[in-house]
Amino acid sequence: MSFLRPALEEPPMAKEKNTSPKDQFRQELRKCRTAKQWTHRALASRLNCGHSLVGAIERGTRNPQLRFAEKCDEAFGLDERFVKLWKRMNNAFSGAQWYAHWADEIEPEARTLRSWVPLMIPGLLQTEEYARAMFTLGIVEEEEVEDHVRARLARQTILGREKPPTLWVLVDEWALQRQVGPPEVMARQLDHLLTLSGRSRVHIQVLPADPETTAGLAGGFMIAEIDDQPTTVYIDSAAQAEVTSDPELVSIILRRYDKLRAGALRVSESQQVIKRWRDSWTSK
């Protein structure tokens, strides 16, 4: 077909020294598309996606996924050029940059979020007091505490928007009984969980302190389902944090989530457990 051309016709790859992998991808996409004199709609028809997604990726407001990169290479007749750029992007989101990528670009786009965090209340559900107490435990430098608290609260704004994502959260029962801050901070934190659990799009299930599975011991994770994009996960462990939509890793995390949820209490039962621990903290 006309859009399959020899590799010799490839335009040069962007090589700006200070250009991020994401910018390289979107610049290359625009360069290849305009070289073919294709509109967003014309390219989208070849990629089997919405034309708005092509425009959003070129503007940098949406992130390409692996399948999108593969289809670009196929449409432009290239030898894994876009796949290689995608891999650079994916690698760039490991380590310290994962948080900004996830919080700024993945969570706000998500239709559904599934979460598991061992030993503590998940960030999206934390009160300001609890978050501050967490960060003052030596997780970050003292002068950075308030910046981290503000960033955590900023993430939570997605729950207050007109159409918030559906949130499924597995909460470790140990997190309900582990003291973070004074007892009154814990009591208010658990009150907050009960308030959130009353929302139609928030489903909180407690994983008992004596679960029958050890699937959650490997570390925390979150799963994001985004329209027109493959499922994306972040994986958090003592060694590193990583954001990826690699199908093999996503499949592993989905299986791990299913195992954990199978051992979790129902929502109504979870509310009773949270109330019991809330009352325990209130009485101290």
Bridge partners of residue 171, in order along the sequence: 117, 206
Average pLDDT over residues 68-77: 93
Of 3.40.190.170, 3.90.1300.10, 1.10.260.40, 3.30.930.10, which CATH number belongs to 9-92? 1.10.260.40
CATH 1.10.260.40 domain range(s) in the chain: 9-92
Say if residue 51 is exposed, middle or buried (CB neighbours under 10 Å; 0-12, 13-18, 19+): middle
What pLDDT score was predicted for residue 23?
Answer: 84
Overall pTM surpassing 0.85 (yes/no) = no
**What is the residue-wise DSSP string for 108-120?**
GGEEEEEEEESSS
What pLDDT score was predicted for residue 99?
Answer: 63
Measured CA to CA, the distance from residue 251 to residue 61 in angstroms comes to 26
Query: How many CB atoms lie under 10 A from the CB of residue 178?
Result: 12
pLDDT digits (tens, 9 = 90+) for 189-206: 999 999 999 999 999 999
The first and second tokens of residue 114, run together, are 């599934």
Query: How many CB atoms lie under 10 A from the CB of residue 25?
Result: 27
Q: Which residue has the higher pLDDT, 142 or 90?
A: 142
Instruction: Find which of 13-27, 73-87, 215-229 is predicted with most confidence, using mean pLDDT.
Output: 73-87
Measured CA to CA, the distance from residue 83 to residue 24 in angstroms comes to 12
What pLDDT score was predicted for residue 98?
Answer: 57
Query: Which fold, 96-282?
Result: Endonuclease; Chain A (3.30.870)
Rg (CA), the chain: 22
pLDDT(66) > 90: no
CATH 3.30.870 domain range(s) in the chain: 96-282
Per cent of the chain over pLDDT 90 is 55
CA dist list (Å): 168 to 18, 23, 38: 39, 33, 41
Measured CA to CA, the distance from residue 107 to residue 98 in angstroms comes to 12
Query: How many CB atoms lie under 10 A from the CB of residue 69?
Result: 22
Average pLDDT, the chain: 85
pLDDT(227) > 50: yes
Nearest to 269 by CA among 216, 221, 197, 200: 197
Q: Which of 139-148, 220-229, 234-243 is predicted least confidently?
A: 234-243
**What is the residue-wise DSSP string for 267-282?**
HHHHHHHHHHHHHHHH
pLDDT(103) > 80: no
